[in-house]
A = this chain, B = another copy of it.
Amino acid sequence: MTIELIPVEGIGEVRRGEDLATLIADRASLRNGDVVVVTQKVVSKVEGRLVPLDHDDPAARLALVEEESVRVLRRRGELVITETRHGFVCANAGVDLSNVDAGWAALLPEDPDRSARRIRDGLRARTGAEVAVIVSDTFGRPWRQGVTDVAIGCAGVAAVVDLRGTEDDRGRTLQATEVCVADEIASAADLVMGKAARVPVAIVRGVDAGWLRQGSVRAEVVRPPAEDLFR
């Protein structure tokens, strides 16, 4: 069973209020079971999650980051690692200055699972296809250099697939094999996006049909602080 990663080209710049489902449906031939991965940046833009910010004012930027956070985990120079209201731990609360107009910053969507559901509903209405949607963003990691794309919202696909009940090939029950397929799909999609190439959407075609159920990054992926060893 091969999986295909297909970039959706030609979406270009998006504005507040534009309909992402229409933009995608016009440029892609969707099939049942496709997972459509949409980057946070375009989701934030159509949802109007842009706020004025002087890019050359570090204090203003820090104030905005703190406003978007419920907890600061670490600071070093201009880098601040915080926990957002959604429970994501990332640099600068996801406040993003790249690929936005000077004088503006993009915030994370208020509820990225809901954003994914809306796009999914729109795609179903426009194409008739039963697809899943993942909203992705680019996060750093402790201990490992380089960023990777992860899922911040999903709809129609499991975020975490629990293989704990299944047996390994020795017939022994597997332990601790809850796989975050939503993050793996987001990372896979990034391979055909390219950070500077303005391809904000990709299709992941051929994932295990058993993963296609209602899903939620917030409910399945965000680790409760009390269970976390690094907060």
Contact = CB atoms under 8 A, between A and B. Distances in A.
A5 B7 contact: no
A157 B8 CA distance: 25
Contacts of A190: 179, 184
Interface string A19-53: 00000000000000000000000000000000000
B179 A148 contact: yes
B145 A180 contact: yes
Interface in A46-63: none
Tier of interface size on chain A: 35 or more
Interface string A175-198: 111111101110110111011101
How many chain copies? 2
A144 B5 contact: no
A57 to B, nearest CB: 16
Interface stretch (A106-114, A116-124, A126-134, A164-172): A164-172
B168 A145 contact: no
A207 interface: yes
Contacts of A144: 150, 180, 183, 221-223
A6 interface: yes
A135 interface: no
Contacts of A97: 175
A105 interface: no
Contacts of A143: 88-89, 222-223, 228, 230-231
Contacts of A99: 168-170
A18 interface: no
Contacts of A145: 160, 178, 180, 220-223
A154 interface: no
Contacts of A89: 142-143
A4 B203 CA distance: 12
Given A146-B178, A146-B220, A184-B191, A4 B3 contact: yes
Nearest 5 Cβ contacts at the A-B interface: A146-B180, A188-B188, A142-B230, A146-B160, A89-B143
23 contacts: A1-B192, A2-B6, A4-B5, A5-B206, A98-B174, A98-B177, A99-B169, A100-B170, A102-B170, A140-B176, A141-B141, A142-B142, A142-B223, A144-B222, A145-B221, A146-B221, A147-B179, A163-B195, A169-B198, A184-B191, A185-B191, A187-B188, A191-B208
